[in-house]
Chains A and B, each alone.
Chain A
Amino acid sequence: MISKIVSGLDEAVSGISDGAVVMIGGFGRAGQPVELIDALLAHGAKDLTVINNNAGNGDTGLAALLAARRVRKMICSFPRQVDSQVFDGLYRAGEIELELVPQGNLAERIRAAGAGIGAFFTPTGVGTALAEGKETREINGRQYVLEYALPADVALVSALRADRWGNLVYRKTARNFGPIMAAAAATTVVQVDEIVELGAIDPESVVTPGIYVNHVVAVGERAWLREGEFVGAVSTEGAAS
């Protein structure tokens, strides 16, 4: 019997080694696998390279991982935010490396890694500082810059629900990087609000097929979904099941 379900968060992240390249899903807080990040923090792996759209918000989740000095390098598109003080402090002190990538190039580099594409020519960034030193080519009269695939050792992803084969559905804009990171990492670990019986997810509605998923852990409804200003009116029934 195939079962990708693991019983605890600790077990889910136990295979992450020092120096690993770790993709972390989420755009801001939506889709950020907060419980898995907390487990990674407790696990203790260090000298990590983290790939995420941002570089942490507030002092929880990714920001807490940064504050604990576990991250050597961030690869992201938008580190600077009103509440990115942890990253800002480390960056200004020269204690963290940054590779800044235009957001669409970041997404496509991740997608390419999962799809077995080594590199691609993109018009995004041509003629800008973020394309300096990179190979360019004119194709049908337009300039493009070469961007390489961005694979990872591990992806940490948050989804709404999964079955034991690892088929996933997401919830609203929390989907963001989940599907492409799941495909791009050698090992993909997914936290879900709930695990359902095999066959309970409509095959037409599966967003990430289980082939891309290695470990699934149920965390229950994410606590912060209804906290503070977010109180009330959240329905997790949105995605078809």
Chain B
Amino acid sequence: MTTRISRDALAARVARDIPEGAVMNLGIGAPTRVANFLPDGLEVILHTENGMLGMGPEPEPGRVDPDLINAGKQPVTEQAGSAYFHHADSFAMMRGGHLDVCVLGAFQVSERGDLANWSTGAADSIPAVGGAMDLAIGAKQVFVMTDLFARSGEPKLVRECSYPLTGVRCVTRIYTDHAIFDVSPSGLSVTELFGDNTIEELRELTGLDLVDATTFSPSDRSHA
């Protein structure tokens, strides 16, 4: 039985890798939680694709403003220093390589860093892509935050994505509930294992040739 860390523990782990001064976009869903774990005093600028830099947390009850929302259409607030801009400017910021980091969810990531996160390709589904394709190819670093296994038990890290692609060779690093993986020229390398998980177990469960790039001995992994 492998060790899984909670969604919030994973969000906190992602937050530890966000550098001071980063301009960052957090995808809808679990990635949004990363903002809750950014250390006090760390100055990070949040970008929301619907046209704002310097997005603050959700408002106090009774202070909701329907003209001030995030990409998930949830109410948010202004931080000192925030700026508004139109949609073409907002996506120029992505496509033009001005965002330092984005954190996205995933259905699948291939060992080359291809991302599938917008459609399962099911015949009866309503297709919807939003800004996923722009974020995937635009940010300087594209982090994926996801469970390693889908509810069906299938691994989400794969040799080739079977779901429709969001972007080709765009993912930099994958934070999963089992381990952290970097996309490297030689495939996926494991940089950090959570709990008692071992590379051998993960190789067996995913069927991938994972490179061991862990720098921690098991006794150093108490933080996980």
Contacts and interface: CB of A to CB of B under 8 A. Distances in A.
Given A103-B131, A225-B66, A28 B73 contact: yes
A180 B86 contact: yes
A176 B86 contact: yes
Contacts of A100: 127-129
Given A104-B94, A111-B88, A175-B85, A233 B126 contact: no
A231 B60 CA distance: 12
A1 interface: no
Contact of B129 (A31, A103, A127, A224): A103
Interface of B: 48-52, 59, 62-69, 73, 78, 84-88, 90-92, 94-95, 114, 119, 124-134, 137-138, 164-168
Given A172-B68, A173-B68, A178-B86, 13 more contacts: A28-B73, A30-B50, A77-B129, A79-B128, A100-B129, A103-B133, A103-B134, A111-B88, A129-B119, A173-B84, A224-B66, A230-B66, A234-B67
User: Ordered nearest first, which 8 A-B pairs have the shortest CB separation?
Assistant: A104-B91, A104-B134, A127-B168, A80-B128, A111-B88, A80-B126, A107-B87, A28-B73
A102 interface: yes
A87 B127 CA distance: 12
Interface string A96-119: 001011111101101100000000
B60 to A, nearest CB: 8
B69 A102 contact: no
A172 B84 CA distance: 6
Report which residue of B50, B68, B69 has the largest number of chain A beta carbons within 10 angstroms of its beta carbon: B50
A130 B128 contact: no
Contacts of B167: 126-128
Nearest to B71: A27
A173 B50 contact: yes
A134 interface: no
A170 B73 CA distance: 18
Nearest to B85: A175
Contact of B133 (A29, A92, A124): A124
